[in-house]
């Protein structure tokens, strides 16, 4: 995946005034974004694809190969 996916709304306030954060991101940590409306910063990380017909949620510890 060469381009990072951009969020459409802030997960905290719902505003659309988001900018990529200039904070250096280590590989695998996810993209950092800043909301100008509520002054919060957050990261987005792609966890993986679900199997067809999967109904459970994917826990971060399970997707990273850690113990649940």
Round to whole Å and give the CA distance between 20 and 4: 10
Is the full-model pTM beyond 0.85?
no
Helix (H) or strand (E) holding 33: strand 31-35
CA torsion sign for 52, 58, 61, 67 is negative
pLDDT tens-digit series, residues 10-66: 999 999 999 998 766 566 577 889 999 999 999 888 788 888 887 766 555 555 555
């Amino acid at each position: 995946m060469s381009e990072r996916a951009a969020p459409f709304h802030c997960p905290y306030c719902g505003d659309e005034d988001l900018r990529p954060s200039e904070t250096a991101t280590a590989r695998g940590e996810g993209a950092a974004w800043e909301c100008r409306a509520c002054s919060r910063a957050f990261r987005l990380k792609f966890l993986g694809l679900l199997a067809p017909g999967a109904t459970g949620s994917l826990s971060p510890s399970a997707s990273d190969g850690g113990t649940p």
